[in-house]
């Protein structure tokens, strides 16, 4: 059809060209001849072009026919595949419907069985309730008969039975504990005593106590007037800048610096010493010297921390942690210098670890840092053990060291041998004679409470607090307390002391039961 249209168009164009040629032939023969030739050439070209386009159109038509045939085949194949899928889906749905029907039949049967069991259980519960009521009636009758026979109520009989069982259990527990303690003491006491004794004997340390007052010696008493200044302006400026009380009394050639903060007191002492040596004392000069002394004390703290590390043998530690450790040079605990206490405890822990075959360096590190929380001020809330553990964790200390720090006062359950050695070294260093001191009032109150705890037990005749409250001897009446009960009293007193009192070191409780036989010869 497309070819016919093209031929028709060409024929129309050819006729138009012939018409023009005849018109021009009428005008002139030569010119008409030329136009006729041109028209023939154009007609030939148009015929050739029409044939070429016809061939192209024919080829495109054949290609379209082949594509149409291929598309028809693909559509037929897809239709067959869809029919097959539909058939399979129909079969699958039929099988699933069959399985669902079978499952519904089984569920109906199971529901019927469960309903029957529920009915049986209801009947059984009714029977059990009836029998329980019968048993309760029988028990009540039996209790009434027993009360009439025994002459006491059930509550009284129960209390008496519980009391007898408690006394018997205490006796049996005391016997078992005594046997276990004897067996453990035979094997471990000698070894522990040897290790601790070796560590204590190998360590020689100072036993001086710190105070809250520093004394500064003056070259002459005339310097006191210069320190006070005109109308007291110098001493007021000094106390305002340093926060330390400056006491000037009749003591010849000496003044006192009083402050509970040892670091601040040391800064003030260095500042006053510099001012006295320089001779120029006025408010502006006091501020300048105070800032310089404060920086000098910070350097001294860093140097003190480094010296402690060198003495213990530890080489790697965070610089901020070393500075905190050095600040403990000016801290005290019951009058004992905390930094010296840490160094001493580290040596003790290292020696005990070596005797036990452990790593001495890790134990030294644990013990050297166990009181690092005391270097922080009151602005950080919490106990010094937990604060020190957080600081050590912050500066990258190993987890064993952190655990030993937080557990050395039993605020966290002890899980490692290093933590136990840290506790032991801390107790040895703080509990040795002369290491620490306490106020007279606290000492007297502690002794009184020790006697009250011991006298509260039945059968106690006399109580003696010995060795400055480190040992309690309890005299019991032999006719009221036997040997096993004496063991129970000693254990109860020791446990109550641990729960109620705070004390350095340990307190030994000794219960003495003495039996005497007396006869008269006539």
- Residues 343, 289 share a domain: no
CA distance 466 to 440: 16
Residue 161 resides in a domain = no
Tell me which of 95, 128, 146 is where a domain ends: 146
b or e along 427-448 (b: 16 or more beta carbons within 10 Å of the residue's beta carbon)? bbbbebeebbeeeeeeeeebee
Q: Which residues, 6+ apart, have CB-to-CB distance to 513 below 8 Å?
A: 476, 478, 481, 482, 483, 486
Shared domain for 422 and 325, answered yes or no, is: yes
User: Comparing C-alpha atoms, which of 214, 238, 227 is closest to residue 288?
Assistant: 238
Structural domain boundaries enclosing 246: 210-312
The alpha carbon dihedral of 497, 499, 505, 511 has a sign of positive
Strand-pairing partners, residue 463, are 474
Given a contact cutoff of 8 angstroms between Cβ atoms, the answer to whether 369 and 401 are in contact is yes
Q: Which CATH number goes with the domain that contains 401?
A: 1.10.3210.10
- Residue 181 C-alpha from the chain's centroid: 35
Neighbouring C-alpha atoms within 13 Å toward the C-beta of 340: 18
Query: From CA 405, how far away is CA 367, in angstroms rounded?
Result: 8
Residue 226 within a domain: yes
Strands in 375-441 per DSSP E: none
Q: Same domain for 13 and 119?
A: yes
Confidence (pLDDT) at 208: 43
**DSSP-derived secondary structure letter, 511:** E
Residues 453 and 326 placed together within one structural domain of the fold: no
Taking CB atoms within 8 Å and a gap of at least 24, the contacts of 216-223 are 216/254, 216/255, 216/256, 216/257, 216/269, 216/272, 216/273, 216/276, 217/253, 217/254, 218/253, 218/254, 218/255, 218/276, 219/253, 219/276, 220/253, 221/252, 221/253, 223/276
Whether 22 maps to a domain, the answer reads yes
Using a cut of 0.75, tell me whether the model's pTM lies above it.
no
Does residue 295 sit in the same domain as residue 329? Answer: no
Residue 498: CB atoms within 10 Å: 11
Do the domain assignments include residue 323? yes
CB atoms within 10 A of CB 118: 10
Q: Considering the domain boundaries, does residue 299 fall inside one?
A: yes
- pLDDT at residue 319, as a whole number: 87
- If asked whether residues 375 and 304 sit together in one domain, one would say no
Question: In the prediction, which pLDDT does 259 show?
Answer: 79
Does 202 fall in a domain? no
Output the six-digit token pair for 158. Answer: 């129960």
Closest CA to 331 of 359, 373, 292: 373
Residue 410 lies in a domain: yes
- Tell which of 417, 437, 457 closes a domain: 437
CA distance 491 to 469: 17
**274 in the same domain as 223:** yes
DSSP string over 44-57: HHHHHHHHHHHHHH
Q: Do 281 and 317 share a domain, yes or no?
A: no
Torsion of CA 275, 279, 280, 286, to 10 degrees: 10
- Kindly state the tokens that stand for 358: 């452990």
Phi and psi torsions of 205, nearest 5°: -140, 165
Q: What share of the chain is helix, strand, coil (3-state, %, to 5)?
A: 70, 5, 20
350 and 428: one domain? yes
Q: Are 458 and 480 in contact (CB under 8 A)?
A: yes
Domain stops at, among 437, 453, 477: 437
In this structure, are 73 and 30 located in the same domain? yes
CATH of the domain at 267: 3.30.1370.10
- Kindly give the interhelix angle for 262-278 and 283-312, rounded to the nearest 10 degrees: 120
Q: Are 41 and 34 in contact (CB under 8 A)?
A: no
Which parts of the chain sit beneath pLDDT 50? 204, 206-210
Is there a contact between 328 and 374 (Cβ–Cβ < 8 Å)?
A: yes
Q: Is residue 94 one of the residues assigned to a domain?
A: yes
Q: Which residues pair with 464 in a beta bridge?
A: 473
How far apart, in whole angstroms, are the C-alpha atoms of residue 306 and residue 314? Answer: 9
Say whether both 115 and 42 belong to one domain.
yes
495: domain CATH number is 3.30.300.30
Q: How many domains does the chain have?
A: 4
pLDDT for the residue numbered 100: 92
Interacting residues of 515 by C-beta distance below 8 A, sequence separation 6+: 478
Check whether residue 294 and residue 329 sit in a common domain.
no
Both tokens of residue 64? 């379209």
Between CA 471 and CA 411 the distance in angstroms is 26
d(CA 301, CA 298): 5
Residue 447 CA to residue 219 CA, distance in Å, equals 47
Angstrom distance (rounded) from CA 165 to CA 160:
9
Residue ranges with strand state E in 140-234:
213-217
């Amino acid at each position: 059809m497309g070819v016919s249209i093209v031929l028709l168009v060409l024929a129309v164009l050819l006729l138009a060209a012939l018409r023009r040629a005849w018109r021009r032939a009428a005008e002139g023969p030569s010119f008409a001849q030329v136009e006729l030739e041109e028209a023939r050439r154009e007609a030939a070209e148009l015929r050739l072009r029409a044939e070429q386009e016809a061939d192209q159109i024919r080829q495109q038509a054949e290609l379209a026919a082949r594509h149409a045939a291929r598309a028809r085949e693909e559509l037929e194949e897809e239709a067959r595949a869809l029919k097959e899928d539909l058939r399979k889906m129909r079969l699958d749905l039929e099988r699933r419907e069959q399985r669902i029907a079978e499952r519904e039949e089984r569920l109906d049967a199971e529901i019927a069985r469960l309903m029957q069991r529920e009915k049986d259980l209801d009947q059984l519960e009714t029977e059990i309730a009836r029998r329980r009521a019968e048993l309760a009636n029988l028990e009540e009758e039996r209790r009434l008969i027993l009360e009439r026979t025994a002459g006491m109520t059930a509550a009284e009989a129960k209390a008496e039975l519980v009391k007898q069982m408690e006394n018997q259990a205490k006796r049996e527990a005391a016997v078992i504990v005594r046997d276990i303690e004897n067996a453990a003491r035979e094997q471990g006491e000698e070894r522990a005593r040897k290790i601790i004794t070796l560590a204590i004997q190998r360590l020689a340390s100072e036993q001086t106590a710190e105070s809250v007052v520093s004394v500064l010696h003056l070259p002459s008493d005339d310097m006191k007037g210069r320190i006070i200044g005109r109308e007291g302006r110098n001493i007021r400026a000094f106390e305002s800048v340093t926060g330390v009380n400056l006491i000037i009394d009749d003591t010849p050639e000496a003044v006192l610096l009083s402050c509970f903060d040892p670091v601040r007191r040391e800064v003030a002492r260095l500042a006053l010493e510099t001012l006295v040596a320089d001779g120029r004392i006025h408010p502006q000069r006091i501020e300048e010297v105070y800032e310089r002394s404060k920086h000098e004390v910070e350097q001294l703290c860093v140097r003190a921390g480094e010296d402690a590390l060198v003495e213990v043998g530890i080489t790697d530690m965070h610089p901020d942690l070393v500075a905190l450790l050095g600040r403990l040079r000016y801290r005290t605990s019951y009058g004992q210098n905390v930094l010296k206490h840490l160094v001493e405890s580290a040596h003790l822990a290292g020696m005990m670890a070596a005797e036990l075959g452990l790593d001495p360096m890790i134990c030294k590190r644990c013990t050297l840092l166990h009181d690092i929380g005391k270097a922080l001020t009151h602005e950080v809330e919490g106990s010094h053990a937990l604060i020190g553990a957080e600081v050590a964790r912050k500066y990258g200390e190993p987890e064993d060291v952190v655990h030993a720090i937080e557990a050395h006062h039993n605020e966290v359950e002890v899980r490692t041998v290093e933590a136990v050695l840290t506790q032991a070294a801390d107790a040895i260093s703080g509990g040795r004679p002369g290491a620490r001191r306490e106020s007279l009032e606290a000492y007297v109150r502690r002794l009184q409470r020790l006697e009250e705890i011991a006298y509260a037990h039945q059968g106690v005749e006399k109580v003696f607090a010995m060795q400055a409250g480190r040992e309690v001897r309890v005299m019991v009446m032999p006719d009221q307390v036997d040997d096993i009960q004496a063991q129970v009293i000693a254990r109860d007193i020791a446990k109550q002391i641990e729960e109620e009192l705070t004390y350095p070191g340990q307190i030994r409780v000794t219960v003495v039961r003495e039996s005497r036989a007396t006869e008269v010869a006539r």
